[in-house]
Structure 1
Amino acid sequence: MITRRHALLGLGALAGSPLAHPLLGQPAFGQTAKKGGTLKIAAPFNPSTLDPLTGGTGSDHMLLYPLFDTLVDFEPATLAARPGLATSWTFPDPKTLVFTLRENVRFHDGEPFDAAAVKAHLERAKTDPRSAVKSELQSIETIEVLAPNKVALHLSRPDTALPLILADRAGMIASPKAVAERGRRHDREPVGTGPFKLEKWNDNDVVTMVRNPDYWDKDLPHLDGLTFRIITDLNTALRSVIAGENQFTYRLNPQQKVVADRMGAGKVVVSSTPTIADYHLLFNYGKGPLDDVRVRQAINFALDRDGFNRAALMGLGVPAQTMLPPGYWAHDPALDNYYTHDPDKARALLKEAGHADGVDIQFFGYSDQASQQRHEIIMEQLRQAGIRAQMTVGSSADMYQRFIVRGEGDMLLALWTGRPDPSQAFALVYGANGFNNAGKVPPPPEMAQAQIEAQSVEDPAQRKVAFAKLEKAALEFALSGELAFVPAIEIHAPNVRGYVPNLLGKPKFNTLYLAD
């Protein structure tokens, strides 16, 4: 049997490598995808916003992808950059990035997509007080329209990560006219260029999208629409697909995979593939007691990552030390066992930090049943090292607001869903303006320098050297507590065709169709 670690190597090691998992449900040779029908999806999270620049949660992506094309796209298996709204790009010099744009593309409101629209979008992304992607675009000084289909980004420093950064939220181009006219309403009334347009969004109930009849790719979409029914209980979501009430669900836990394999045989298709997404503990080190590196190190030594993988993920995950998984091209394997499970070492560090009798921390997390089971595993591991975690739970949106925005609590268990370029993880989680840096504490100088180095060269071998520095600094300063990388588990009806999993574990529904 191939291990998940080996699978990750096959999926992410080299750009252009073949897909390591089968393309599920592709049309047979000589067949064409059927047109029409609405795909009914059981979605586990209500979106935080449908404006790509103002949201911060990875669970939004599944609803953003149908509405917004990205400037650059990525290969599902390797995350290598490929054309999107930009047909090509080049660095004529190290501090200039020029994009050639796809022509004859229009936004959902009929406005033309062109270089002026890209300029307006990126300037908003850099300057809007509500923008969640500012830290990713710091290298951009000015944006110049060279022609209606050509735009130049003039940089303060070389930044070879930008093309893939623009394959994420920052590159989801919204209509400048709609943004200007709707203001904050654009969060709920978004206008992109994607294959689907928003029809309605009822909070915690349903999000419906309809076909964009003027989409630039005349072969897409195959479907007439998408209906996302918000079902936060994963067991209920799974049952709804087995019963035929919905046709697709995602972000399931290994426990639901076991149920699907047993109860859904012949009724559903089960997809389980490796990802770069991992469970990790976010620390607020802007205040005590986690402003002391020894306390953060103690938490890391208290964690039994193998035990967490077995108990929480049924052994289907991969224990994590950093946000880059074993086997991934940018990861340094020398760091695989940096933090061992050592409660005695954890106690010694707490004593050295002035907590001889242990320490109390406020632990935030999500209120669903699976999350609470994960919390209990972590709390017991910490307890054995003298770390007493006081639990507070709520919805993901509420906990994000309280922990990240308002700075409450000391620690939050979250799922980091990964980004197309590995530099984004370090900028968004550890950067001074990163939306997952609750205390907004700047990273150590050596880490900031390594971040620049990782984005200054194109050669993967040179970038890997810089990423090794980033990983090591994050571990030395114990800026988070990484637990385990998770598989992407999706369940869909047999007549759902055209689905291709990706290394981010974030399903894209744009090419799906319903067979007879």
Structure 2
Amino acid sequence: MNRKTLVLPAVLGLFTPVLVACGGAGGGDRASHAITVGTTDSFATTKESPAPLDPAYAYDAGSWNLLRQTLQTLMTLPRGGGEPVPEAAEECGFTDTGNERYACTLRDGLKFAGGEAVTATDVKYSIDRVLGIKAASGVASLLNTVDTVETQGYKKVIFHLKTPDATFPFKLATPVAGIVHPEKYPRDRLRNGFEIDGSGPYTLKAETANGAVTKAVFTKNDTYKGQHTPKNSKIELRPFADAAAMGAALDAGEVDLMTRTMSPEQIKKLSSGADEDIKLVETPGLEIRYLGFNTNAPVVREKAVRQAMAQVVDRGELTSTVYGEGADPLYSLVPATLTGHSSAFFNKYGAPSTEKARGILRKAGVTTPVKLTLHYTTDHYGSTTEKEFEVLKKQLNASGLFEVDIKGAEWVEFRADELDGKYAVYGLGWFPDFPDADNFLAPFLDKGNFLALPYVNSAIRDDLIPQSRREADRLRASDSIEEIQNIVADDVPVLPLWQGRQYVAARDDIQGVEWALDSSSNLQLWELSRGVSD
């Protein structure tokens, strides 16, 4: 049959699977083989990043996707999105009216993959360890509302929070709250390398070369008890240098499925139905891309420079030129599909205008052209990132107000230099920890933020973020969330660019593809199985 792209619903909680019957290759002894998944994510140990798979350090989508398969968390997001549900816990909930005391009771019979019992003490150890190590990656900031963790017996854990935090159940569903084996993870230092010891759906064995993972083999953990039901016994995740190599492997049958990051050209080709043996699934995505600013750097310390850049950048041209239908212009840090979103940057700056930008700079007494370098990572978000930065450079230079160069670096070097404040302007992406507006604001603007931004706004940190977290009804938090977006549009510590859609391509005997990624780009490998083509 002629292959068509499957587009899945965007409404969380109404995420209905689309089943497809397909002709094509299949059968034989493939049914007994591990399902092989391709990715352009890379996993490497370096001097700057010696512990890429330690939940007390890991804070990128690729590493988290390995941890989600192997470490169990108290809560998890349900298959089709929505409010978190118990995972390692049998029940969890706030026990007060102020959202400051959260209690969980563990399931009976929980065990680490090695057979040792999982207890409340292990949960406390895992959370206390993250907060104690407080790694430079900034991942501990997700748990910064935790004051103390208390245990009652071997099954009950009580979290006492410093301030109300209605988003706390979402945070307990992220890998930073993964339950680790206390004998395998030192209390006061990171665990280097690629080993993971948890109680999740799978165990992991990483094959490596020159300090990098060449294959991650996930084997079903028979001791696992939780919310998920693995539909396969083994998955192999294979990193590729780029989307072209990954696509070639899919075409050759060397991998069964490929995920992020596919190129716009691949998406266009597969959408056309050119290959009847491969199906393409489009699902709602919450990935965003943005420019970050080191507001202490002399070249962008003046707010007017950042505002002028916001006034010049043409998001429509950027997305259509580089990403086609795979991305949409974004005018806020909060994606358009989340409660609380407002198009704050469009409201303030309107359409791109060199004249308005010139007026902003002239009023502030800034001499033009402003010379600066835009930094980007060459290997973390796919091969189109360079093209994206070429377009940004062209737009800014065409205004005559800026003299821009661009410079790329591999992710490990790029991330370390960004955290060290070596870049004045840099490009990054964000795959949310959980689908709530708070997770597109606090990680950038709160104390101990992911970017190590020197920018501080006391109204945001001391009033607006705490106010929004008091509201269990997230619609009622919208006023605070929208005010934060307005402040960001005025001060421009970050400049949002676009919001992405996400795609999965798979050979047509692979089932569960429509569930392989959730809206936050989290891999759900337990959903995949090998079926028989019609």
Do both share a fold (TM > 0.5)?
yes
The 5 A counterparts of 1:327-406 are 327-332=337-342, 336-340=346-350, 341-367=352-378, 369-385=383-399, 386-404=401-419, 406=420
Structure 1 residues 333 and 484, CA, compared in 2 at 3 Å: closer, same or farther? closer
Determine which of 315, 319, 334 is the counterpart of 1:305: 315
| Change in 2 beyond 3 A, CA 1:304/1:69 | same
Q: Bigger CA drift: 35-44 or 63-72?
A: 35-44
The one-letter code matched in structure 1 to 2:425 is: M
Q: Which residue of 2 aligns with 1:3?
A: none
Pair 1:50-2:49 in alignment: no
- 1:217 and 1:121 map into 2 onto residues whose CA distance is 18
Paired amino acid for 1:346: A
1:216 corresponds to which residue?
A: 225
* Structure 1 equivalent of residue 302 of structure 2: 292
* CA displacement at 1:218 relative to structure 2: 10
Q: Give the structure 1 partner of residue 104 of structure 2.
A: 99
Deviation at 1:349, TM superposition (A): 2.3
* Residues in 2 aligned to 1:260 and 1:413: alpha-carbon distance in whole angstroms: 28
1:144 aligns with 2:150: yes
- Return the offset for 1:482: 0.7
Q: Distance in 2 between matches of 1:229 and 1:219?
A: 23
Q: Deviations over 1:374-422 (max 9, x none)?
A: 1111111111232222222122222111112x21111222221123132
Which secondary structure does the structure 2 equivalent of 1:280 belong to? strand
Contact kept in structure 2, 1:432 and 1:443, CA below 8 Å? no
Aligned partner letter, 2:63: D
The residue type equivalent to 1:325 in the other structure is P
Aligned amino acid, residue 101 of structure 1:
L
Which residue of structure 1 aligns with residue 130 of structure 2? 125
* Conserved? CA contact 2:133–2:188, under 8 Å: no
Secondary structure of 1:279's counterpart equals strand
Moved more, 379-388 or 212-221: 212-221
Of 185, 198, 204, which aligns to 2:204? 198
Residue correspondence of structure 1 range 22-101 to structure 2 within 5 A: 22=18, 37-47=33-43, 49-93=52-96, 94=98, 95-101=100-106
* Cα shift at 1:335: 6.1
Question: SS of 1:126's equivalent?
Answer: helix
Q: What are the superposed Cα offsets for residues 343-379 of structure 1, whole Å, 9 maximum, x if unpaired?
A: 2222222333443222112211122531111111111
What's the CA shift string for 1:97-140, capped at 9, x where partnerless? 11122221112233322211111111112121326322222221
Cα distance in structure 2, aligned partners of 1:309 and 1:219: 36
Q: Secondary structure at the match of 1:510?
A: helix
- Which ranges of structure 2 fall in alignment gaps of 5 or more residues? 1-6, 23-29, 45-51
Which deviates more, 147-156 or 421-430? 421-430
8 Å CA contact 1:343, 1:384 repeated in 2: no
Alignment partner of 1:441 is 2:455? yes
Work out whether residues 70 and 85 of structure 1, in 8 Å CA contact, stay in contact via their aligned partners in 2. yes
Alpha-carbon shift at residue 198 of structure 1 (Å): 1.5
Q: Which whole-Å CA distance do the structure 1 matches of 2:162 and 2:348 have between them?
A: 35
For 1:317-328, list aligned pairs within 5 A: 317-328=327-338
In structure 2, the CA distance between the partners of 1:156 and 1:217, relative to structure 1 (3 Å rule), is closer
The amino acid across from 1:506 in the alignment is N
Instruction: Name the amino acid aligned to 1:80.
Output: E
Determine the C-alpha separation between the residues in 2 that align with 1:379 and 1:20: 41
Matched, 1:228 2:237: yes
Letter in 1 for 2:233: D
Cα distance change on mapping 1:173 and 1:422 into 2, 3 Å: farther
Q: Per the alignment, do residues 401 and 209 of structure 1 end up closer, same or farther by CA in structure 2, a change over 3 Å counting? A: same
* TM-score normalised by length of structure 1: 0.89
Mapped contact 1:299–1:382 kept (Cα < 8 A): yes
Q: Verify: 1:162 aligned to 2:175, yes or no.
A: no
- The CA distance in 2 between the partners of 1:391 and 1:271, in whole Å, is 34
- 1: distance between equivalents of 2:63 and 2:19? 24
Per the TM alignment, residue 231 of structure 1 is displaced from its structure 2 partner at its CA by 0.4
Unmatched 5+ stretches in structure 1: 1-6, 27-33
Match of 2:3 in 1: none
In structure 1, give the amino acid aligned to 2:43: P
1:511 aligned onto 2:527? yes
| Aligned counterpart, 2:425 | 411
- 1:286 deviation in Å? 2.7
Q: Is the 8 A contact 2:290 2:497 kept in 1?
A: yes
- The question of whether the paired residues in 1 share the 8 Å contact of 2:293 and 2:426 is answered with yes
Q: Give 1:188 deviation, angstroms.
A: 1.9
Q: Quote how far apart the aligned CAs of 1:440 are.
A: 3.6
- Per-residue CA deviations over 1:54-78 (Å, capped at 9, x if unaligned) read 0222222222221122221113544
Q: Residues 215 and 230 (structure 1 numbering): CA distance in 2 closer, same or farther, change over 3 Å? A: same
Render the CA deviation track for 1:163-200: whole Å, top value 9, x for unaligned: 00111132222222210299533552121211111212
Amino acid at match of 2:526: N
Say whether the 8 Å CA contact 1:126–1:133 is kept in structure 2: no
Aligned partner letter, 1:190: I
Residue number in structure 1 paired with 2:442:
427
**Where does residue 481 of structure 1 map in the other structure?**
495
Q: Distance in 2 between matches of 1:23 and 1:412?
A: 41
Aligned length: 497
Which residue identity is paired with 1:83? Answer: P
AA aligned to 1:11 is A
Which amino acid is the alignment partner of residue 247 of structure 2?
L
For 1:181 and 1:209, the matched residues in 2 are separated by: 26
Partner of residue 29, structure 1: none
1:458 correspondence with 2:472: yes
Displacement of 1:20 in angstroms is 5.8
Residue 30 of structure 1 aligns with which residue?
none
Contact kept in structure 2, 1:76 and 1:503, CA below 8 Å: no
- Deviations, residues 444-468 of structure 1 (Å, cap 9, x unaligned): 4345411111111212221122211
- Aligned partner of 2:25 in structure 1 is none
- 1:173 pairs with 176, 179, 186, which one? 179
8 Å CA contact 1:165–1:424 kept in 2: the answer is: no
TM-score with structure 2 setting the length: 0.87
Counterpart of 1:281 (choices 283, 291, 310) is 291
Counterpart-to-counterpart distance in 2, 1:367 and 1:334: 30
Secondary structure of 2:408's counterpart equals strand
Give identity over the alignment, percent: 19
Cα distance in structure 2, aligned partners of 1:243 and 1:217: 36
Q: Is the 8 A contact 1:350 1:359 kept in 2?
A: no
